[in-house]
Structures are given as C-alpha cells and as structure tokens.
Structure 1
Amino acid sequence: MNLKSIIRRKNKGCTIVRGNEFEENILNRNFKADNINEKWVTDVTYLKYGENEEHKAYLSAVKDLYNGEIISWVVSKTNDNPLVMKTIKATIEA
C-alpha cells in the first residue's frame, strides 16, 4: 500500500520560565468538576496553514472541566499574553 510513517523526535518543550511569579497549583491534577463553571483550563496551540503550511495561527481556548465544553476561543497571528488575556476576557463576558 506504499504507506510511510513520519517519526518525529521528542519535543524538549518550548516554554522558557523566568522569574519567580508563579501561581499556586490549586487543581493538583484533579481535572474532574462536579458543577458547571467550577473549573476552567486554558491552552494555546498552533495551526499551520497556507499552500505549504508556511504560516501559523495560534488558537487560545478555555474549556470547562465539568462537561468538556469550549467556553470561548480566540485566534491570533501571535502567541503572546494579549492573546490569552483576550480569551479570558471573552470567557468572563460569555
């Protein structure tokens, strides 16, 4: 069938942590919620697009852990703090 797989190398991560401004880990890996809007999580991922996938767009989303619903999302050409803050603001206003 002429199938070929692409073997990707292990990602060493891309987050650079500096300073000492960290928030307490209040979820402590407990990702189950008993009520709607009790626990939200957020993440940013990138999407490649264009003829040769030469462009990237960044998707920032907020998910409710109660039912897995995406409450809000924002797409941007840049992965930065304003993207995340815009997503959080949209979530609160929803």
Structure 2
Amino acid sequence: MEVTNIIGKFLISSPYMPKRKLWDPEAMKKAVEAVRAKEMGYKKAVKLFNVPRATLKDYVKKADKSIEDIVSGKMGRATHFHKPKNKQAKNG
C-alpha cells in the first residue's frame, strides 16, 4: 500500500506510515539494562536488540524510573480532564 501526498507543486510518493511501538518490550528492557550497565553503546544495542535508537536513548535518560515502568508506560500526554463521579458534580 502506498500513500501519495501533494505538497505544493510536487507529488511525493512514500510508503505507508509505520505503526507505533512495534518493538518488543522485553528486548527494550534488555537494551536499556545493557546500556545503563555500560556493557555496550547505543549503536550496538540498537542493532543487537532491534529497537529504535531514539526511543532507547529516551528510556536510558530516564534514570529515576525503573525499566518496567518506562517500557510499560502509556504513550502521549497525561489527561487533564476527568469524568465527573456523580450527577451533582456535572450540574454544578
């Protein structure tokens, strides 16, 4: 499947957008542990464990959190609006 985008006067043809988070969480945990323990660098860990380089760098930098919390975390921003617990809160 191929997606075609028109930008200005140029017609750009590119492969479909890849889906997010296709890497294996266990492989990411092992890669983060290996880089944090200085057993290998980013480049070698990315090739060996087949994980995204930028994501690995982000996860290694989050030293204050455990690896399980980082890898299993939700993507995106935290929600600010919560659903009201009862009807009275909804009406004012």
* Same fold by TM-score greater than 0.5: no
TM-score range, shorter chain: under 0.3
Larger radius of gyration: 2
TM-score, structure 2 as length reference? 0.25
Point out the structure with the larger strand share.
1
Point out the structure with the larger helix share.
2
TM-score, structure 1 as length reference? 0.25
